[in-house]
Structure 1
């Protein structure tokens, strides 16, 4: 069997007014500039099916990833060890756990694994013949160091 690939994204944007994750002070959302997504790709070569899903969250904790893997195994036939679940590390997503002074959003954290799994399952349903390729380029304007450089020279 030739390589097959499928891709999908599912909106995981929460309601307004929720706490935002990973800030040194508690912040709540007041508007939506861009939607948040779980974006998935599934690859299948006839022997192995694997998935990668990237979520617009500050982090995907192990418990959440394990729940996504359980759901995906049932919905898309991808073994848990063949699914990578990760976050983009955005600081403009709901708090899925309490960090620094941020209050967690437990209702959102409980609801989002099913939507993440939906993205992977949809990608699996969209499998079609594919080819792999690669390329690279430099883009130094998109990388910066956001460490705080203090007036005394310490970082």
Structure 2
């Protein structure tokens, strides 16, 4: 009289399978939101659009970064965000120690022997950045707009 009807087993198995599926989806969700590439690009644009030498830093909440002369991409936990610079091209300095020092505040005349050497480093960095791949991101995006002689550049390091 109080026995379960025979179709209860099917219902129980269906509920168990649905529970496992929901648990699988929940564990696969990203643990953090996508990084804010637009805010980082706005910082670059604010410095690059300045008519005077200037610099700025922007905190990054990304694990990896891809900097190119006209755009920026940030990645964390499989989430990726992209943004395009309004003022460009900029010079991503990754891989060049002297340009990195200049981006972080060292006068270019102290990091390079001549304006020609600085110009060559800037051109080489732009060429490398055209096909840049993902690399580990620093905690800060550093942007510096400067003029040396007739060379007017915006250096970006992340």
**TM-score interval (norm. to shorter):** under 0.3
Q: With a CA cutoff of 8 Å and minimum separation of 6, indicate the structure with the bigger relative contact order.
A: 1
Q: Give the TM-score normalised by the residue count of structure 2.
A: 0.23
Richer in strand (by share): 2
* TM-score normalised by the chain length of structure 1: 0.23
Q: Which has the larger radius of gyration?
A: 2
